[in-house]
Amino acid sequence: MNGFGIAVFLVFFFTGLSQDLVQAQPRARDFSRPYHLDQSFIPPLTPEDLRRMNQANIAARDISEAEEFVRSSYPALDQAAQEYLAKAGLKFQTPVIQYYGYRNLKAPSRCGESRLDNAIYCFLDNTINFDIIYLAKVIRFVKGKTKTDGKYAAMTMVAHELGHAVDYKWARLVAGVGSQAWGILYELTLERNADCFAGAALSKIVIDRTRKVAVPDREKEKSIALLEGRLALYAVQGDRSDRYYPPGEERMRIFQKGFEEGTGTCYELKLEKVK
């Protein structure tokens, strides 16, 4: 970068920072959402946030957009989770969503300090914790490929974590915490179930929202949701796999199975893996 480039970069860098500081106060109320811990003061972005954002090519508006996608879709995702569990005669308390990884926000999770570039469901305090810069990165990756708005990518990420909450409730009641069966259920099926639930939840939401829409438009919306959801999972997984996570291609397949066949297939998936 030449001298002029550096000057332009610094102007944008600090303009973005000062705008963010100016905007911080009016946005304060938005942060105290029913499913957030009460945060009456939003700390400003830190130099470390700006470094990470710069590295990932993420702007403050990308973060606001990610927050808005989560805020606007969470009630519908929660509804999908409640309906899923209701089939098994269960009900659960909606997990609280918390952001970390910016503004000096540490996830106050009983599951320990969450590492960056991650999201985690903590069953000890029933919270879903997101590094918001990571979420914004995934949305940006998907949008860059699809030229769509990326909201289904955000919903997939939230639905996956919600899937863990659902799974925990299911496994705890069906098998009993601490039992060997619970351990097997929890370890072997964890990530697959969450991906399956994410697919089923997104498909239900798209169908519900497009009931009065012409068939071609509904099908288009479904294909966007399916594409964004699968790409989001691929973005976070790539071709790697380990004891818990299947490779990205398999995660996309499981998401699609949930999307096309509904939540019933996620139960079957669970049982199939336990055998």
Chain contacts with Zn ion (rule: CB under 5 A):
191, 194
Helix 60-86 × helix 3-24 angle, to 10°: 50
Minimum distance, C-beta of residue 129 to Zn ion, in the bound complex (Å)? 12
* CB closer to Zn ion, 45 vs 154: 154
In angstroms, rounded to a whole number, what is the distance separating the alpha carbons of residues 25 and 35? 20
Minimum distance, C-beta of residue 127 to Zn ion, in the bound complex (Å)? 14
Minimum distance, C-beta of residue 121 to Zn ion, in the bound complex (Å)? 7
* CB closer to Zn ion, 53 vs 152: 152
In angstroms, rounded to a whole number, what is the distance separating the alpha carbons of residues 92 and 167? 11
Q: Which residues contact 164 (CB under 8 A, 6 or more apart)?
A: 121, 123, 190, 193, 194
Q: Kindly report each contact of residues 46-53 with a partner whose C-beta sits within 8 Å and lies 24 or more positions away, as own/partner.
A: 46/102, 46/103, 46/104, 49/102, 49/103, 49/133, 50/13, 50/16, 50/17, 52/101, 52/102, 52/116, 52/133, 53/133
Closest to 42 measured CA to CA, from 134, 90, 104: 104
Minimum distance, C-beta of residue 64 to Zn ion, in the bound complex (Å)? 25
Minimum distance, C-beta of residue 232 to Zn ion, in the bound complex (Å)? 12
